[in-house]
Amino acid sequence: MAPANEITGETTAETKAAVESSHPISTLLIIIAMQTEALPLVTKFQLSEDTDESLFPKGVPWVRYHGTYKDLHINLVWPGKDPSLGVDSVGTISASLVTYASIQALKPDLIINAGTAGGFKAKGANVGDVYVASDAAFHDRRIPIPVFDLYGIGARRTFSTPNLVKDLNLKEGKLSTGDSLDMSPHDEAAISANDATVKDMEGAAVAYVADLLSVPAIFVKAVTDIVDGEKPTAEEFLQNLIAVTAALDQAVTQVVDYVNGKCLPDL
């Protein structure tokens, strides 16, 4: 299946953003699925957790940290621990919900979705590499009915940041998203059709919601495990999570520093 770029109206958010935003980026929304990935950035940017009154309704585990860093209002939102099971609320449902609720509450100028990802060595990825996603699509939403198939894949270009990618010397590649950490043969075929270099569990969901609400979004993904390598994903993921998180947080800090004082079209 070919990516649906031609007909998904992929440039809508980007075009609107470019036209409307000649003012410097002010409010930043950083969405991170895992606490391990989020906390070093909370410390780095000296963000405070919402305590008295949450931005979000009673019952949801979502956590916002916020503060001022240089000229930016930074909001870091983490979907929190599952209320029943106590593990990070990873995956597309939580990611889409916090993206929606945070956009509604904060009206950010720019979203950064940061996280760890699996990488494909056949596409040049190594453990510790940090990618900016040029495109996002799903690989586990197979609907074999004409046009519904394209909706399921949900391929879209992300907000284009050629200067940022070049100046920070980041790698660029396509991102494929699914709700499983492992990769079934069906997933593998879809990821290949999506031409993906990195694979995560949230990106395309954040991209979908950001696009609906016309907020530009950047995807910064650090490779914790090689999917087409020899080690089992879960083992390699847990082994590398801490070290790669350091690389991720460094890259996000660079991106935030780069964004500071700039307008959207400068990126």
User: Is residue 6 a contact residue for a second copy (CB under 8 A)?
Assistant: no
- Minimum CB separation from a second copy for residue 97, in Å? 6
User: Is residue 18 a contact residue for a second copy (CB under 8 A)?
Assistant: no
User: Is residue 214 a contact residue for a second copy (CB under 8 A)?
Assistant: yes
User: Is residue 93 a contact residue for a second copy (CB under 8 A)?
Assistant: yes
Q: Give me the catalytic one of 37, 88, 211, 249.
A: 37
Tell me which of 23, 51, 53, 144 binds a second copy, using CB under 8 A: 144
Is 37 a catalytic site residue? yes
User: Is residue 241 a contact residue for a second copy (CB under 8 A)?
Assistant: no
- Minimum CB separation from a second copy for residue 266, in Å? 25
- Alpha-carbon dihedral angle through residues 218, 220, 225, 227, given to the nearest 10 degrees: 20
Q: Where do runs of H (alpha helix) occur along 107-232? A: 148-153, 162-167, 185-193, 203-212
d(CA 203, CA 223): 14
User: Is residue 66 a contact residue for a second copy (CB under 8 A)?
Assistant: no
- Minimum CB separation from a second copy for residue 246, in Å? 21
Q: Return the axis-axis angle of helices 233-259 and 35-44, rounded to nearest 10°.
A: 30
CB burial string 209-221: b at 16+ within 10 A, e below: bbbeeebbbbbbb
Is 235 a catalytic site residue? no
Give the residue with the Cβ less far from a second copy, 166 or 186: 186
d(CA 253, CA 247): 10
Q: Please, are residues 192 and 83 in contact by the beta-carbon 8 Å criterion? A: no
- Minimum CB separation from a second copy for residue 117, in Å? 15
User: Is residue 228 a contact residue for a second copy (CB under 8 A)?
Assistant: no
Question: Pairing state of beta strands 110-119 and 217-226?
Answer: parallel
CB burial string 145-181: b at 16+ within 10 A, e below: eeeeebebbbbbbbbbbeebbeeeebbebbbbbbbee
User: Is residue 245 a contact residue for a second copy (CB under 8 A)?
Assistant: no
d(CA 131, CA 230): 22
User: Is residue 8 a contact residue for a second copy (CB under 8 A)?
Assistant: yes
Tell me which of 18, 39, 105, 212 binds a second copy, using CB under 8 A: 212
Q: Kindly write out the interface string for residues 152-191 of this chain, putting x where it contacts a second copy by CB under 8 A and - elsewhere.
A: x-------------------------xxxxx-xxx-----
Q: Is residue 71 helix, strand or coil?
A: coil
Tell me which of 43, 70, 83, 162 binds a second copy, using CB under 8 A: 83
Interface residue list for a second copy (CB under 8 A)? 4, 7-9, 57-61, 82-93, 96-97, 100-101, 104, 138, 140-145, 147-148, 150-152, 178-182, 184-186, 205, 208-209, 212-214, 234, 237-238
Q: Which residues are catalytic?
A: 37, 225
